[in-house]
Amino acid sequence: MKHDLLGLYPLSGEEIDEILTLGLGMKALLKRGGSLSDLKGRSVFTLFFENSTRTRCSFELAAKKLGATVVNLGVSTSSVQKGETLVDTGKTLDAMRCDVIVIRHPAGGAPKLLADTVRAHVVNAGDGMTEHPTQALLDMLTMREHLGTIAGKKVAILGDIRHSRVAKSNLYGLTKLGAEVSLFAPRTLMPAGMDALGARICSSREEAVEGADVVMGLRIQLERQKAGNFPSLGEYARYYGVDSRILSYAKQGALVMHPGPVNRGVELTSAVIDGAQSRIEDQVLSGVAVRMAVLKLITREDGYDL
Ligand code: CP
C-alpha cells in the first residue's frame, strides 16, 4: 500500500503526535550536524508550480539528510510549458522510478489527483487555499519544543485566514492536539465555517491575543487578492497587524510565529519580528526536521498511513 501526506484534516491526533515526536529527534540530530541513511537509494522529486524558498529548500535538505537523491523539476522550464498535464508529468516521473513527489500547486486538490494516479508517494507542499500540512507540522513542532506540550495552550492566529492554507492546516492539527485556537481577520478575509471547525472567532486583535501562549501572524497573500479586501497596506498594519502593544495582551514570553515570507511592517512590526519572543527563524529549522520525519515515515517498509 502506498502512503502519502495530503493534509492534516484526515489525520488523528496520535498520528500527528508521532510525526512531531520523530521530528523533535530529527531537530536534535540537525543541531548536532548529523544525518541518516534511511532514504539511501531512493529518489525525491520536487515539483513546485508556485514560488517557494523555505518549503522547497527544506524538503531538498531533508531528503539529502536522509541520503536520498533529489531532483528539483523547474516547472517554468519543463514540458508543463508545452501543455503537459499534471497527471502525465506525474506518470513521467513514475517511469523514472521516482519514490516521492513533493508538490506545490495553486489548485486545491492537485496533490490528491497526483496521488491517485502515480505509484510514488506524494507529499503536499501547499495546494491553493486548502492545506499546507508540513508548515503546520513545523509550527506545532516549534510550539511543542518551546512550550513542552500543545494540549491546553492558547494559539492566536491573525491575518488573511481566507486565503491561508497554513491557517487551515494549523486549525486541523492544533485542535486535534487539544489547543484552543483563536482567529482574527478583517471581515473580508475571514471565511465562513471556521467556528464549526473548532476555532474561536474574535472581533478584535486584543480579544484574540489576550492570554495567548502563541501569537501567529499570517502573510497577506497579495497574489491571491483579486478584490480590495482592505484599503491599503498601511491601514492593514495599523488596524489588523501585530505590534508591541498588541503583543502585550499575550502571556509573558508568548511565542511569536509567522510562516514566512513576512511582509515586514505589515503583518508584524520589525520590533516584533526581531524581538526576543520571535521564533520565526527557529521555525525554519523545525521545517527541515519535520520534513525529514514525514519522508522517513511515509517511505518506511511497514508503511505509515498519513
Ligand atoms: N512558509 C512557506 O510556505 O514559505 P515558502 O513559500 O518560502 O515555501
**Is any atom of ligand 1 closer than 6 Å to the C-beta of 52?**
yes
How much is the pLDDT for 198?
97
Taking the CA of residue 289 as centre, how many other CA atoms within 13 Å lie in the half-sphere pointing to its CB? 29
Give the burial class of 90: count Cβ atoms within 10 A of its Cβ; 0-12 exposed, 13-18 middle, 19 or more buried.
buried
Pocket test of ligand 1: the residue of 49, 55, 284 to mutate, having most ligand atoms within 8 Å of its CB, is: 55
CB 148 within 8 A of CB 28: no
DSSP class per residue in 84-150? --HHHHHHHHHHTT--EEEEEESSTTHHHHHHHH-SSEEEEEEETTTB-HHHHHHHHHHHHHHHS--
CATH 3.40.50.1370 segments of the chain:
13-130+285-299, 133-282
CATH code reported for the domain at 133-282: 3.40.50.1370
pTM of the model: 0.96
Residue 18 C-alpha cell reads as: 508521532
- Which of 299, 303, 306 has its CA nearest to residue 41? 299
Centre of ligand 1 from the C-alpha of residue 265, in Å:
18
How much is the pLDDT for 85?
95
| C-alpha distances out from residue 220 to 108, 158, 189, 225, 301, Å | 19, 10, 10, 9, 41
- Please state, in angstroms and rounded to a whole number, the distance separating the CA atoms of residues 159 and 241: 7
Per-residue pLDDT tens for 26-42? 999 999 999 999 999 99
The CATH label, of 3.40.190.10, 3.40.50.300, 3.40.50.1370, 3.50.50.60, for the domain at 13-130+285-299 is: 3.40.50.1370
Low-confidence stretches of the chain (pLDDT beneath 50): none
Centre of ligand 1 from the C-alpha of residue 50, in Å:
10
How much is the pLDDT for 39?
97
How much is the pLDDT for 232?
85
**Is any atom of ligand 1 closer than 6 Å to the C-beta of 283?**
no
- Sign of the CA dihedral with 263 first, then 267, 273, and 277 last: negative
Per-residue pLDDT tens for 126-140? 999 999 999 999 999
